[in-house]
Structure 1
Amino acid sequence: MNRGSQAVLDLVGTLVRLGLAAVWLISGSIKISDPGQTYLAVKAYDLLPDGLVHPVATGLPLLELALALFLLLGLGTRIAAAVSAVVLVLLIAAVAQSWARGLTIDCGCFGGGGQVAAGQTQYPQEIARDVGFLILAGWLTVRARTRFALDGWLRSGRVDTVAEESELERT
């Protein structure tokens, strides 16, 4: 692969990384600013025992904000992307099971959440949106090299550069 192609892929990766970071930052910030509503959103899925609803409602926004920070800084990008992918698959599965069970809830992905009136659900759109985010996470899991990332700056010396170039030639 020539340097021009690598530069374009690095730029695309940077936009993907920052976009996914923005998703987690917005989602986590909204949830953490209204913990009561986040609790109601998690409870509405009717998946968890009552004893786990509060820890999940507390931990999910913290995880989202941590992922946002790692992706924003470009630190542990591949790991943050892989964790993002796992979280997104779990969220997609939760929305899909709600739809399949006939629950009438708002996913609460970007605030709100909980019971809604019949006909007010948006399951197909929520799943499609999260699949789009999953594609972004997949891109970064496969190709984590991006510009303005601490990952690249932490690698120093000729050995890492040669290893990185060899890895790029294989992909």
Structure 2
Amino acid sequence: MIAPRAQTRRFDDWAPWLSTLARLILGGVLLVAGALKVIDPQSSVAAVSAYELVPGWLERPIGWGLPFLELGLGLLLVAGLLTRQAAAVAGMLVVIFLVAVVSAAARGLSLDCGCFGGGGQVAPGQTAYAGEIVRDLGLLGLSVWLVWRPRSRFALDHPELTRAGELEREDQR
């Protein structure tokens, strides 16, 4: 049996690598989602409108602003800047997406989520709510992980995790 201290040390060694993977996946998804929407902002507005959750006067600002928010968060996460804060905002965004998708499903709306461009009404039976919910729960899990363990490899906001930092930690053991 491995001693608890050895297990903790092993976890502490792997946690920055897991955080790096989480940061790159979450940031990459946000970059792709934002990039696909920013090239067709009217489609993004239509997707927001299709959910029927916000007043009409808010649909345009949300539809136009959301792609830029996603791009900004994605860039911060991929670069490893303000990781905890970016992951927290991304997590809140994912919760909003989850609420919107669950709400659409509960109200019997047939929508393409519009998470990766497009969006809007689709034929009944063409929805993929279960897959979207599972995907968003996974992204929420990555966000929570990064809020808890924001230190990752190759991040611009944690330079102490360079090789020099690793050597210092080994010397302390």
User: When the two structures are superposed, what TM-score results if normalisation uses the length of structure 2?
Assistant: 0.86
The corresponding residue for 1:70 is 76
2:95 counterpart of 1:60 = no
The corresponding residue for 2:28 is 22
Once residues 93 and 48 of structure 2 are traced to their aligned partners in structure 1, the CA distance between those partners, rounded to angstroms, is 14
**Closer, same or farther in 2 for the Cα pair 1:54/1:154, shift >3 Å?**
farther
Runs of 4+ that moved beyond 6 A: none
The corresponding residue for 1:82 is 88
Tell me the CA shift for residue 154 of structure 1. 8.2
Once residues 74 and 154 of structure 1 are traced to their aligned partners in structure 2, the CA distance between those partners, rounded to angstroms, is 13
Secondary structure (helix, strand or coil) at the match of 2:130 reads: helix
2:101 counterpart of 1:95 = yes
2:18 counterpart of 1:12 = yes
1:96-111 correspondence runs (5 A): 96-111=102-117
**Closer, same or farther in 2 for the Cα pair 1:154/1:6, shift >3 Å?**
closer
Which of the residues 112, 119, 132 maps onto 2:118?
112
What code does the residue aligned with 2:155 have? A
**Closer, same or farther in 2 for the Cα pair 1:121/1:75, shift >3 Å?**
same
The corresponding residue for 1:43 is 49
Tell me the CA shift for residue 124 of structure 1. 1.0
**Is there any run of 5+ residues in structure 1 with no aligned partner, and where?**
156-160, 166-171
What code does the residue aligned with 1:62 have? F
Once residues 154 and 70 of structure 1 are traced to their aligned partners in structure 2, the CA distance between those partners, rounded to angstroms, is 18
The corresponding residue for 2:153 is 147
Secondary structure (helix, strand or coil) at the match of 2:117 reads: coil
2:139 counterpart of 1:133 = yes
**Is there any run of 5+ residues in structure 2 with no aligned partner, and where?**
1-7
The size of the alignment, in residue pairs, is 156
Cα displacement string for residues 78-102 of structure 1 (whole angstroms, at most 9, x for unaligned residues): 0001101100000000000000001
Once residues 88 and 72 of structure 1 are traced to their aligned partners in structure 2, the CA distance between those partners, rounded to angstroms, is 17
Tell me the CA shift for residue 5 of structure 1. 3.4
The corresponding residue for 2:4 is none
What code does the residue aligned with 2:151 have? R
Tell me the CA shift for residue 8 of structure 1. 1.4
